[in-house]
Amino acid sequence: MSTADNDINAAGEIALTMQENNHIVVIGADGTVASHFSAGAVDLDGVDTKRDGALNFTGKMQGVLREPDGLRWIDNDHFMIANEGDWNGGSRSWSIFRKDGTLVYEDAGALERAIVEMGHYPEHRNKKGAELESVEFAVFDGVPTGFVVSERASVIGVYDLTDPANPVLKQILPSGISPEGIVALPARNLLASANEVDLREDGLAPAHVMVFERAEGTPAYPMITSAGTEALIGWGALSGLVADPEAPGMLHAVSDSVYRSAPTIFAIDATQKPARITGATVVTRDGAPAQLLDLEGITNDGEGGFWLASEGRSDRLVPHALYHVNAKGEIKAQVALPPELLAVEQRFGFEGIAKVGDVLWMAVQREWKDDPKGMVKLLAYDIKEKTWGAVHYPLDAPAEGAWMGLSELTVHGDWAYVIERDNQIADKAAVKKIYRIALADLKPAALGTELPVVAKQEVRDLLPDLVALNGYVVDKVEGFAIDTAGQGFVVTDNDGVDDSSGETLFWSFGPVQ
């Protein structure tokens, strides 16, 4: 037998979990075994059970062993456990027991569903779902408060445990990448979490500690959620953004190849705080979810549908292409790249699309084989003439060991706006900016000829916005749109919680120049 966690109450009694045995033991103050009992099993309804590149919460799991890990006493009679389900389980829940073995409360996946709504569900590690691992308990200003750590979703659920039989979820905190340890410091009004994953060798975030202070007011996170919809909407990896052509604060976004089996267009109501994802439309081909797409850009077609830009990757048979879809997400036309472009293609392709009259403009993220160093193409496709052209856009110089590229293209008024960013994270992040180019300067030359170089003007440095939550700076600022009222909206790509904190930052910085 091996123990997973233990805790001692004010009466001197020790409760401990035996995860591999799916068992809980309570040892009395006199050192004898006061009680021991099975942690039991849980039935789960509305869960995603397949790792298949799609978020589908219609599955069921019956009789899943809890296999508890973390444990903390709530009072001298009750304790809470995190049901990691590490071996045979995947129980995705947390529970409260009396010390005599009576089950008082079973979450049954409710926290996981709240995690889904805030875009933190780890589909790529789907066998065990959000994997609730650690718990903590403390009294803050007279309120018994429980904390439940999800290692795989990288969040902490905060509960009012005034009534152990009816916990109330008050907030979900973003905790960095893979929180493992947690400690409450109520005397200082603080909570700290230790995040075990260290990705410095990959140029990503290092292992780190997060510190939270209890405060009054509206939670700063999440900044966007799908909560409140009739059916549960899973989402993540938002990569492109466009404003509704008529309604202020209404937007659409697309998800990238993280969810390759269900490429989706999301409807967003940004007039609410947090912004609300109110609908999800799967992009289909011949009635089935379209395959081999990596959607990185979206723009209105002027007829109620959209043009989508897909970033290709030849080694995975994903083509660089444009797709015209109707309001139902049905693909009505596909535009492939011409031979001149296919001959010089690279992995980092389309990252944004905008429509100006009959011309579609696409930003190419990085240099292709025929581009001078530090120059990327803004490609033009004339829908009626079916012809291609391009201009060159000059990138800022990256720091040593970094690269620079474009992540979005949108048009408003007399200007085209792009996101230009490096691929750096945390304290190494240096360039996350919005620039603009005069539409009058977007005069495409024929492919294969010398391309004109456009002039750019800086509109906004986004780094101050990215540090607003006091976490590490994320690298993928990927979506930008300007609504009919002239307000600018920005969204980051959370990579589907893959080697990422899972945070999606979504905000408006007000009127755009």
Does a structural domain hold residue 9? yes
Distance CA 69, CA 133 (A): 6
407-416: per-residue pLDDT in tens? 999 999 999 9
Is 356 in the same domain as 452? yes
Q: Are 384 and 442 in contact (CB under 8 A)?
A: no
CB 66 within 8 A of CB 84: no
Same domain, 169 and 281: no
Q: Establish if 57 belongs to a structural domain.
A: yes
CATH code for position 173: 2.130.10.130
Listed residue (293, 435, 432, 442) closest to 355, CA to CA: 442
Domain-located, residue 218 = no
Residue 264 and residue 181 in one domain:
no
**How many structural domains comprise the chain?**
2
Last residue of a domain, one of 189, 213, 237: 213
Whether 419 and 300 share a structural domain = yes
219 found inside a domain: no
Q: Are 206 and 248 contained in the same domain? A: no
Q: Are residues 336 and 473 in the same domain?
A: yes
Q: For residue 330, what is the DSSP state?
A: B
In a domain, 244, yes or no: yes
Q: Are 265 and 352 in a shared domain?
A: yes
Query: How would you write 316-374 as a 3-class SS string?
Result: HCECCEEEEECCCCEEEEEEECCHHHHCCCCCCCEEEEEEECCEEEEEECCCCCCCCCC
261 and 364, same domain (yes or no): yes
Whether residues 374 and 502 fall in one domain: yes
43 with 100, same domain: the answer is yes
- Please give the model's pTM, rounded to 2 decimal places: 0.95
| Positions in the chain whose pLDDT score sits under 50 | none
Q: What is the pLDDT of residue 201?
A: 81
Out of 174, 191, 213, a domain closes at 213
Q: Is position 162 within any domain? A: yes
Instruction: Determine the Cα–Cα distance for residues 100 and 156; give it in Å rounded to an integer.
Output: 28
The CA distance from 193 to 211, in Å, is 7
pLDDT at 413: 96
Q: Can you give the CATH number for the domain in which 341 is found?
A: 2.120.10
Domain that holds residue 157: 5-213
Query: Are 241 and 172 in the same domain?
Result: no
**Is residue 45 a part of any domain in this protein?**
yes
* Domain C-terminal end among 213, 241, 260: 213
Answer yes or no: do 355 and 498 share one domain.
Answer: yes
